[in-house]
Amino acid sequence: MELTTQHFIALLPLLVTSATIVVVMLAIAWKRNHAMTFILSVLGLNLALLSLIPAAGVTPIQVTPLLLVDKFACYYMALVLAATLACTTLIHAYLGGESGRQGYPGNREELYLLILLSALGGLVLVSAQHLAGLFIGLELLSVPTYGMIAYAFFNKRSLEAGIKYMVLSAAGSAFLLFGMALLYAESGSLSFAGIGAKLAADGLPSLIAQVGIGMMLIGLAFKLSLVPFHLWTPDVYEGAPAPVAAFLATASKVAVFAVLLRLYQISPVTAGGWLEGMLSALAIASILFGNLLALLQSNLKRLLGYSSIAHFGYLLIALIASKGLAVEAIGVYLATYVLTSLGAFGVITLMSTPYSGRDADALYEYRGLFWRRPYLTAVLTVMMLSLAGIPLTAGFIGKFYVVAAGVQAQQWWLLGAMILGSAIGVYYYLRVMVTMFLAEPNLKRHDAPFNWGQRAGGIMLLVVGLLAFVLGVYPQPLLELVQQAGLVAVAH
């Protein structure tokens, strides 16, 4: 096929991100400078975000059989890039001062390179319409995260988390590849639409196709940490540096869920029947286990890890509904979830100093925070209310849409599990909030710097907090954006 100017315009976000990676790599080779690397990374990500505007103008367009850039891909690219930009800002705050005494003792610059590479994988993933595109995107997203998780190499937990994630991620990828091989053997095609058309023509999918779809689902469920493939999540979140945990919880999961949604919608034969039953079981298990295990946590990162398992259980309800409001509900929910997760991990990042042992993630370290850092407490309070789905926060709008999609599809059992899970969730989110307002005993404590609100990370955090509140009160702009981000199937 011939590539035209329009194809290159559609690929701009990917090209700009790739160029940023090359520039940052050359800059590090030329001279190690933390501030310069940070500025180059942020500039590149902002340019990639801006390049989505011309790219959206030429959509939908198929760039090679592997990638399809449509409004849907543009919307999720924007989410991935915005989350990466926020995490990059948090990394700068986390790694600290310029000299080795004040900040992170090792080389700082490579972390920016790894997060940019991972973001590029996310961009490939959300525009994939072919199993090869899906696998390339997924591996490019996953492999740099092994290094990012183990980046605090002087911390035993961080190294352990990196190795755990690498081993389990390899197992997840193996399942995914085997499932793809079986699907290809059965359908003779690797494109989502081609597989869907072939299996639909055959009527009921054969046993090989069913096993293939099941194995692919296991691979993707691992990346989304759905029960029973969730065991890595709390350990990896706890061990990873706080900004990296934020990236794992937001950009990486959004990209995987977007491709799962595209696969599920474009290959309609996979919907309904046994697969719907399997997804329903995963959803109910994730909601109940995620929330019940979060109740027992006294570590804020582990609590957020288990709560993210529950949130992706809620999202599966909209995926299973798959008609009417479902695609819209998923778009709204993922945007609000990304916002609130970034805010919650952002507070942990600003409270933590990576060069004095572990991150400040134990709940007791947040006791009495209100009396020392009232604005930081306000941000974390809004995030907890939003995760719990309390009205006037962004999280409420997301949950409302998922419930609406579930009601439309008459998924009463799933909605019952969601209501029960949300009720349990309110308890442990409120426990975090109450802890911050308690009178403080004389504990050795971590604290955010006094001028945290004047730094890049602090400003970003305040913006996120404000957005979570504004979108809860006035969600119209987000809803209009999501309504335009419909899925497009390209005929084969």
Task: Specify whether the CB–CB gap between 278 and 214 falls below 8 A.
Answer: yes
How confident is the model at residue 116, as a pLDDT? 96
Q: What is the pLDDT of residues 78-118, one digit of tens each?
A: 999 999 999 999 998 888 765 444 667 778 889 999 999 99
Tokens of 401: 């849409």
Look at residue 492 and tell me if it is in a domain.
no
Q: What is the pLDDT of residues 33-62, one digit of tens each?
A: 889 999 999 999 999 999 999 998 887 888
Quickly state the pLDDT bin for 423 (edges 50, 70, 90): very high
Alpha helices in 101-155 (DSSP H): 109-126, 131-149
How confident is the model at residue 215, as a pLDDT? 92
Look at residue 85 and tell me if it is in a domain.
yes
Look at residue 368 and tell me if it is in a domain.
yes
Look at residue 489 and tell me if it is in a domain.
no
Residue 266 in this model has a pLDDT that exceeds 90: no
How confident is the model at residue 101, as a pLDDT? 45
How confident is the model at residue 99, as a pLDDT? 46
Cα–Cα dist 129/266, whole Å:
9
Q: What is the pLDDT of residues 337-360, one digit of tens each?
A: 999 999 999 999 888 866 666 778
Task: Specify whether the CB–CB gap between 153 and 454 falls below 8 A.
Answer: no
Higher pLDDT pick, 322 / 216: 216
How confident is the model at residue 268, as a pLDDT? 58
Burial of 201 (0-12, 13-18, 19+ CB in 10 A): exposed
Quickly state the pLDDT bin for 453 (edges 50, 70, 90): low
Q: What is the pLDDT of residues 105-152, one digit of tens each?
A: 778 889 999 999 999 999 999 999 899 999 999 999 999 999 999 998
Look at residue 27 and tell me if it is in a domain.
yes
Q: What is the pLDDT of residues 228-246, one digit of tens each?
A: 889 899 999 999 999 999 9
Quickly state the pLDDT bin for 483 (edges 50, 70, 90): confident
Cα–Cα dist 398/412, whole Å:
18
Domain containing 64 equals: 5-484
Domain count, the chain: 1
Tell me the CA distances in angstroms from 48 to 5, 15, 18, 81, one per residue in order. 17, 8, 10, 8
How confident is the model at residue 240, as a pLDDT? 92
List 362's β-bridge partners, or say none: 299
Q: What is the pLDDT of residues 184-205, one digit of tens each?
A: 998 888 888 888 888 877 777 7
Look at residue 311 and tell me if it is in a domain.
yes
Q: Report the mean per-residue pLDDT for the chain.
A: 88
Cα–Cα dist 262/129, whole Å:
8
Alpha helices in 205-241 (DSSP H): 207-223, 233-239
Q: What whole-number percentage of the chain has pLDDT above 70?
A: 92
| Span between the terminal Cα atoms of the chain, in Å | 14
Residue 272 in this model has a pLDDT that exceeds 70: no
Look at residue 491 and tell me if it is in a domain.
no
AA letter at 491: A
Look at residue 305 and tell me if it is in a domain.
yes
Please report the sign of the dihedral spanned by the C-alpha atoms of residue 255, residue 256, residue 258, residue 259. Answer: positive
